[in-house]
Chains A and B, each alone.
Chain A
Amino acid sequence: MMDVIFAKWHVTISLMPFLLQGLLMTFKVSIFAITLGSTLGFVLGLLRTLGYRSLTGIIGLYLHIFRGSPYLVQLYIIYFVLPSLGIEFLNFDSFTAAIISLSLYTSSYVTEITTAAIYAVPKGQEEGARSCGMSKAEALFYVVLPQSLKMMIPPMASIYVVIIKSTAILSVIGISELTRQGEVAILRMPGDIMFVYCLIAVMYFIYCYPVLRFAKWAEGTFGSIGSVQDQES
């Protein structure tokens, strides 16, 4: 019993620097995607509430396309199909393709959250601000958005967990993030498949669990929109 534990401990120690490198990459990709995707999604969600019919329709189609197809398919299309079109600009390397696809995927969720949060602010707030002589933009930025931003925090945190977990899929295009590093580690130590995957699972857990706890805490503190549910990739 003791020597088994000792052997596993030895495997852990020798693989740790390698896996930590992967965790760093996972962290990097997820932070990039979350920042870019949230910005894009926030802008789209804001545009969607302005009430221009054609704009709302186009954004709705965008959301349906990105939420109706699996992330794996989106990744393959962005990584394999776009470069084969022969346009210089679309010739992504794997890291750019990963960031772009993950950002677009994030933005589709964030758009929904932003729209729901803006609609969740009672209409009287905007009408009151307008009747005080604020312009439409002023009412939006000083009255409506501060209230809806607060409501956006809990669902955004759960979406971030989804995005962190989605980075595991990037291993199929050869980004050296945590899952990929684990697969390479298994090539080095083929006897410990289960153990290495358990290690990776623990590392993902350490990264995701605090965010999930934060989401739960934020839901108690800031309230929830209700209609936006916990999403999974």
Chain B
Amino acid sequence: MSWLNDLYNFRIVGQYLNVFIDGMITTIWLSFACLILSFFFGIFIALMRMSPIGFVWRIAAGYIQVIRSTPLLIQIYLIYYGLPALLPFGNLFDETQTAIIALTLHTTPYMGEIIRTGILSIGKGQKEGAMSVGFSPFQNMYHIILPQAIANITPPLIGQTAILIKDTALFSIIAVPELMGAGLTMFSETVIATESYVTTGICYLLIYVLTLILSGFAQNRLGGAAWRSN
């Protein structure tokens, strides 16, 4: 066993196990919060993007383009340094809340684009049928279009969620105590690279496997037309 101990020292990892578990929990709830928020705002962005009013859809399209063509790291820096300067109450947010704001702002356009393709994939007859039985535009969207659209877009939504979870690793740079931060803490205290970073990688792979299993359930439960055709 000594060769294994030379390559990967279990005892040291054991000492830092609680740090890694805390980091994993933070990563999971952080990404879950961002997922819910960005999905919610993504619906609004998708509706804005499809609006016939030029002013409204241009704002949404501009927002989408700007976010999509700048790196997340720069957006994090801009929000981390910019929020306290621009907003009078910006100082109230701690690192974790800043992280949630930045990642939600970053993920919303992607979610919006996915939701937009989902809404466009619903046949026109559905909308016309709902209107002909007297549904208002809101009821139409809420009861008829969105349920079908969301069922159709489960595969890309799950892909985007996996990307979202990986993106949280960047928040170690602004000292959010998530999984990557746990690895960095262990490295700075023990200066052994192998155990710190390989353990971090393994923890991320564990979360990835968890998402794969959950997405299997989601596909079986919600799978719509687009999923079956694959």
Contact = CB atoms under 8 A, between A and B. Distances in A.
Interface in B157-214: 159-160, 162-163, 166-170, 172-173, 180, 183, 187, 192-194, 197-198, 200-201, 204-205, 208-209
B69 A204 contact: yes
A64 B69 contact: no
Given A68-B162, A81-B194, 12 more contacts: A64-B205, A68-B204, A69-B204, A161-B69, A168-B73, A201-B78, A205-B66, A208-B70, A227-B155, A229-B114, A229-B159, A233-B163
Contact of A81 (B71, B75, B193): B193
A72 interface: yes
Contacts of B65: 209, 212
A212 B69 contact: yes
Interface of A: 64-65, 67-74, 76-77, 80-81, 84-85, 161, 165-169, 171-172, 179, 193-194, 197-198, 200-201, 204-205, 208-209, 212, 227, 229-233
A81 B180 CA distance: 15
Contacts of A227: 155, 230
Contact of A72 (B78, B160, B170): B170
B204 A70 contact: yes
Given A172-B173, A205-B66, A205-B70, A81 B163 contact: no
A197 B167 contact: no
Contact of B198 (A81, A209, A212): A81
Q: Which 5 A-B residue pairings sit nearest by Cβ, starting from the closest?
A: A68-B208, A70-B169, A208-B69, A168-B71, A80-B193
B169 A73 contact: yes
B9 to A, nearest CB: 12
28 contacts: A67-B162, A69-B201, A69-B208, A70-B204, A71-B169, A73-B204, A76-B193, A76-B200, A80-B187, A80-B193, A84-B193, A161-B68, A165-B69, A165-B72, A167-B71, A168-B71, A168-B72, A168-B73, A171-B73, A179-B74, A194-B82, A197-B78, A205-B70, A212-B68, A227-B155, A232-B160, A233-B72, A233-B166
B110 interface: yes
Contacts of A73: 169, 180, 183, 197, 200-201, 204
Contact of B172 (A72, A77, A204): A72
A169 to B, nearest CB: 6
A205 B209 CA distance: 34
A204 B201 CA distance: 29
B33 interface: no
Interface residues of B, number: 46
A133 to B, nearest CB: 33
Contact of A169 (B170, B183, B187): B170
A85 B181 CA distance: 23
Given A179-B71, A205-B69, A230-B113, A197 B159 contact: no
Given A68-B204, A194-B78, A197-B74, A80 B69 contact: no
Given A72-B172, A80-B193, A179 B163 contact: no
Q: Which applies to chain A's interface (DSSP): helix, strand, loop or mixed?
A: helix
Given A64-B208, A73-B204, A193-B81, A168 B74 contact: yes
A197 B173 contact: no
Contacts of A81: 193-194, 197-198
Interface string B56-95: 0000000001101111111101100110010000000000
A231 B197 contact: no
B163 A194 contact: no
Contacts of B82: 194, 197
A85 B192 CA distance: 11
B205 A68 contact: yes
B166 A65 contact: no
A209 B193 CA distance: 37
B116 to A, nearest CB: 12
A200 B74 contact: yes
Interface centre among B69, B72, B187, B193 (most CB of A within 10 A): B69
Given A68-B208, A194-B81, A232-B167, A77 B197 contact: yes
A227 B156 CA distance: 8
Nearest to A169: B73
Contacts of A171: 73
